[in-house]
């Protein structure tokens, strides 16, 4: 019960009141940052109240990209929702695919063959690499580095997207996984190319750390900014690198051991301060762990079928019931909750988007900081509006 007072959003109002005590209404500046703003990562809006440059109140406003994804899912067959999941978090379509496939497989009790599991791990970890690298690029870009870190990140990301293209036919909208396996097998020579890309990745990370790791300006801008306490992080349902930067050891790859993650030797980096710098560094360290997983997976991948022979592509109708399937997407816990009524379309198709839930604590982190910090904090949450607004 002790954590209750700290974690409620009433605490924010209290802090707001304290900060504005003795300041008349006319002295506060209300700024509507977004929906068209260079660093809101799409069409996101923050209604900010400023005292000078200090944020005293901040309300996130979302929904500009709302297309009622869940309703589309209810009106489409199970299979037809798969390409729509690509468009949720459009940077990581493969992990979205996996989460949805996992939920449907849980719902219908479908097994996934060994090779397909390995393919899923490889593609998901590659997705994590490319997502995290572009996130740290965007984060530093938001702090005013004129594109250089982002371009380095994109240079590496392109290599991974090329791999995705030659495997799935598309760079970003991969639409690769199916209920009970994956759509197509690896083309000839793909694994060797992937190994080369993965082998070159630590070099990029070293380069990146050289560029910014000890940069005094970056440290001054990020250390101690937007600290998120352990209790609040758990209570507010924050997941992913944000949660781990606050020192909570919770990685669904380790907790649920979905797929075949129990076979790989990797560690979960944890931060102690939960500030922007920790989130930035946790992502870099997570990439290094992902490289470890990739090395093992690409070494061990067995031959065999990639689809469960019992799985049906056409006319798929799971029995009535419900299932919640979740994975550790690069942004946090991505869950799909499906209710089947026995027909070809899900009765309820719910997405638990990590970046939407992570936005809950934006105000908590921003109040009392400068307006420039809100940008850095928002960048460190790593939101993708396709997923927030659905």
Partner 1 sequence: MLGEGIVRGLAETARNFLGSFVSKERLTTVQFPEERLPQAEAARDFPFLVYDGEDWQAGMRCVACQICEKECPPKCIFIEKSKDKKPDALGRAQFYPARFDIDVSVCMSCQICVEVCPFEAIKMDTAFELSTDDRFGGLLWDRQKLALSDAHYHAIHPTDAAHTDELLAAEKAKAEARTKAAVAKASPAPMPQPPAPAAANEP
Partner 2 sequence: MTIEQVQSEIQSAIPGAKVEIILNPSPSAQHSLLLDHEHVLAVATYLRDVSELRLDYCSNVTGIDWLPREKSEKVKVKNLVEGVEQEVEEVHKTVVPGYLEVVYHLFSVEKKHGPVILRLRTEDRAAKVHLPSLTPIWRAAEFQEREIFDLYGVIFDGHPDLRRILMWEGFVDHPMRRDYVEPDDYEYEPTPHDHVLQRSREESGRH
Partner 3 sequence: MTETIDQIFVILKHWLVGHVPTAVEPIVSELLSVVPIILLFPLLFALITVMERKGLGRIQNRYGPNRVGPCGILQPIADGIKTLTKENIVPHSADKVVHLLAPLLLVMATFLGYAVLPVGRNMVAANMDAGVLFFFAVGSMTELSVFMAGWSSRNKYSLLGAMRAIAQMISYEVPLILSSVTVIMAAGTLSTVSIVEQQSGYTGIFPHWFVFTPWGFAGFVLFMIAATAESNRSPFDLPEGESELIAGYYTEYSGFKFALFFLAEYLGMMSISGMAITLFLGGWAAPLSFLTWIPSYLWFFGKLFFFIAGFIWIRGTLPRLRMDQLMNFAWKFMLPMALINLVTAGVWRFMPTGILRWLVCSAMVVAPYVLLGRGFMLGKRLEKRTYRFAD
Query: What residues make contact with partner 1 under the rule CB under 8 A?
Result: 76-77, 79-84, 86, 148, 152, 155, 158-159, 165-170, 173, 175, 183-184, 187, 207, 210-219, 313-315
Which of partner 1, partner 2, partner 3, none does 202 bind, CB closer than 5 to 8 A by kind? none
Q: From residue 159, give the alpha-carbon distance in Å to each of 81, 155, 182, 290, 359.
A: 28, 7, 22, 16, 30
| Bridge partners of residue 45, in order along the sequence | 61
> Cα separations (Å) of 62 from 33, 70, 289, 356?
12, 16, 33, 9
What is the distance of C-alpha 5 from the center of its chain?
A: 29
Report how far residue 212's alpha carbon sits from residue 222's, in angstroms, rounded to the nearest whole number: 12
Binding mask 43-72 for partner 3 (x = CB under 8 A): -------x--x-------------------
Indicate whether 107 belongs to the interface with partner 3 (CB under 8 A): no
Least distance to partner 1, CB of residue 213, Å: 7
Residue 35 burial (CB < 10 Å; 0-12/13-18/19+)?
A: middle
Q: By three-state DSSP, how is residue 128 classified? A: helix
Residues 214-233 close enough to bind partner 3 by CB under 8 A? 214-221, 223-224
Phi, psi of 295 (to 5 degrees): -60, -45
Q: Which stretch binds partner 3 (CB under 8 A): 58-66, 173-181, 232-240, 280-288?
A: 280-288
Considering the complex, state which of residue 313 and residue 320 has its C-beta at the smaller distance from partner 2.
320
The item of partner 1, partner 3, partner 2, none sharing an interface with residue 301, based on CB under 5 to 8 Å by kind, is none
C-beta of residue 317 within 8 angstroms of C-beta of residue 344: yes
- Work out whether 210 is an interface residue with partner 3 (CB under 8 A): no
Subset of 300-339 contacting partner 2 (CB under 8 A): 318-324, 326, 333, 335, 337, 339
Give the C-alpha separation, 331 to 239, whole Å.
Answer: 7
Strand 29-33 with 45-51, pairing: antiparallel
Q: Is 367 a binder of partner 3 (CB under 8 A)?
A: no
Q: Residue 293 and residue 288: Cα distance in Å, rounded? A: 9
Binding partner selected for residue 223 from partner 3, partner 1, partner 2, none, CB under the kind-specific 5 to 8 Å limit: partner 3
Residue 207 binding result from partner 2, partner 1, partner 3, none, given CB thresholds of 5 to 8 Å by partner type: partner 1
DSSP state of 26: G
**Closest by CA position to 226, among listed 332, 102, 364, 93:** 364
Of positions 181, 259, 271, 386, contacts partner 3 by CB under 8 A: 271
Give me 39's structure tokens: 């660093």
Candidates 17, 18, 66, 267; binder of partner 2 (CB under 8 A) is 66
> Rule CB under 8 A: is residue 254 a binding residue for partner 3?
yes
What's the Rg (C-alpha) of the chain?
A: 21
User: Does residue 341 belong to the site contacting partner 2 (CB under 8 A)?
Assistant: yes
- By CB under 8 A, residue 207 contacts partner 3: no
Nearest distance, CB of residue 220 and partner 3, angstroms: 5
User: With binding defined as CB under 8 A, does residue 142 bind partner 3?
Assistant: yes
Closest separation in Å from C-beta 206 to partner 3? 14
CB of 70 closer than 8 Å to CB of 390: yes
Residues whose CB falls within 8 Å of the CB of residue 42, separated by 6 or more in sequence, listed in order = 64, 65, 383, 384, 385, 386
**Residue 72 · residue 84 · CB < 8 Å:** yes
- Residue 158, contacted partner among partner 2, partner 1, partner 3, none, CB below 5-8 A by kind: partner 1
Interior angle at CA 124, CA 118 and CA 127, nearest 5: 145
User: With respect to partner 2, which residue has the nearer C-beta, 91 or 238?
Assistant: 238
For position 266 contacting partner 2 by CB under 8 A, the verdict is no
Contacting positions for partner 3 (CB under 8 A): 29-31, 37-39, 50, 53, 140-148, 151-152, 155, 211-221, 223-224, 247, 249, 254, 267-273, 277-278, 281-282, 285, 370-373, 375
């Amino acid at each position: 019960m002790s954590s209750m007072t700290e974690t409620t959003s009433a605490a924010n109002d209290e802090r707001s009141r304290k900060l504005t005590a003795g300041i008349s209404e006319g002295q506060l500046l209300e700024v509507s940052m977004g929906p068209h703003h260079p660093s809101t990562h799409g069409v996101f809006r923050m209604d900010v109240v400023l005292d000078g440059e200090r944020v005293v109140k901040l309300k996130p406003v979302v929904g500009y990209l709302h297309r009622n994804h869940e309703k589309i899912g209810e009106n489409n067959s199970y299979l037809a929702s798969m390409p729509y999941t690509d468009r949720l978090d459009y940077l990581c379509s493969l992990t979205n695919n996996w989460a949805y496939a996992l939920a449907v497989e849980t719902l219908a009790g479908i097994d996934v063959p060994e090779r397909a599991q390995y393919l899923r791990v490889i593609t998901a970890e590659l997705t994590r690499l490319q997502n995290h690298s572009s996130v740290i690029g965007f984060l530093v870009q938001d702090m005013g580095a004129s594109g250089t870190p982002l371009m380095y990140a994109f240079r590496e990301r392109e290599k991974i997207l090329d791999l995705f293209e030659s495997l799935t036919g598309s760079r970003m909208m991969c639409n690769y996984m199916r209920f009970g396996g994956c759509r197509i097998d690896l083309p000839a020579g793909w694994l060797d190319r992937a190994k080369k890309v993965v082998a070159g990745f630590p070099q990029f990370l070293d380069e990146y750390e050289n560029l910014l790791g000890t940069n005094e300006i970056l440290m001054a801008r990020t250390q101690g900014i937007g600290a998120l306490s352990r209790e609040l992080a758990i209570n507010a349902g924050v997941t992913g690198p944000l949660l781990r930067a606050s020192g909570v050891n919770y990685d669904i790859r380790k907790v649920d051991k979905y797929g075949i993650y129990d076979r790989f030797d990797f560690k979960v980096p944890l931060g102690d301060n939960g500030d922007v710098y920790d989130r930035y560094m946790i992502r870099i360290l997570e990439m290094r762990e992902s490289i470890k997983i990739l090395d093992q997976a690409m070494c061990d991948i067995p031959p065999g079928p990639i689809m469960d022979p019992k799985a049906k592509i056409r006319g798929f109708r799971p029995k009535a019931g419900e299932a919640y399937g979740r994975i550790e997407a690069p942004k946090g816990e991505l869950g799909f909750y499906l209710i089947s009524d026995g027909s070809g379309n899900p009765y309820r198709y719910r997405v638990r988007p990590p970046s939407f839930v992570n936005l809950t604590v934006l105000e908590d982190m921003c109040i009392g900081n400068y307006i420039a910090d809100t940008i850095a904090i928002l960048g460190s949450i790593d939101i993708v509006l396709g997923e927030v607004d659905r």
